[in-house]
Structure 1
Amino acid sequence: MALSKEHELHQRRKGRNIGVGLLLVGFIVLVFSLTFVKVTRGDFELPKAEQEVSQ
């Protein structure tokens, strides 16, 4: 059984899906890097209620 040729519509969808996937990965990397920088700079502090419970 021979495989049929991929329709042009599927090729466009595949390209669009790859683009959306790359944008999603870029957004995740951006959020992760901003979070990492904020935590390592020391700006991150627990709320006072959580500090009292942990002590």
Structure 2
Amino acid sequence: MRPAMSDLPDGIRPLTPAEARTRRKRSVAIALTLGALVLLFFVLTIAKLGPQILQRPL
């Protein structure tokens, strides 16, 4: 349920459906980019450590 205009603080207005879709798409794009960076850093770290990381004593 969307708040009525009188319930919002001064200077704040509810988003239009088009603005909400745009914000949602931007949020998804940022999340995917962040996930890709995390995956890239993980892969690079494993590659830098090399295969001997699996043969270390526990």
Q: What TM-score does the superposition give when structure 1 sets the normalisation length?
A: 0.65
The runs of 4+ residues in structure 1 deviating greater than 2 Å are 1-5
Q: Is the counterpart of residue 7 in structure 1 residue 27 in structure 2?
A: no
The unaligned stretches of length 5 or more in structure 2 are 1-9, 53-58
Deviations 1:2-53 (A, max 9, x none): 533211111001110110011000110111001000011168xxxxxxxxxx
* 37, 40, 48: which one aligns with 2:46: 37
Across the aligned residues of Structure 1 and Structure 2, the Cα RMSD in angstroms comes to 2.0
Percent of counterpart pairs with the same letter?
14
Counterparts of 1:15-30 in structure 2, within 5 Å, are 15-30=24-39
Write the letter of the residue equivalent to 1:27: A
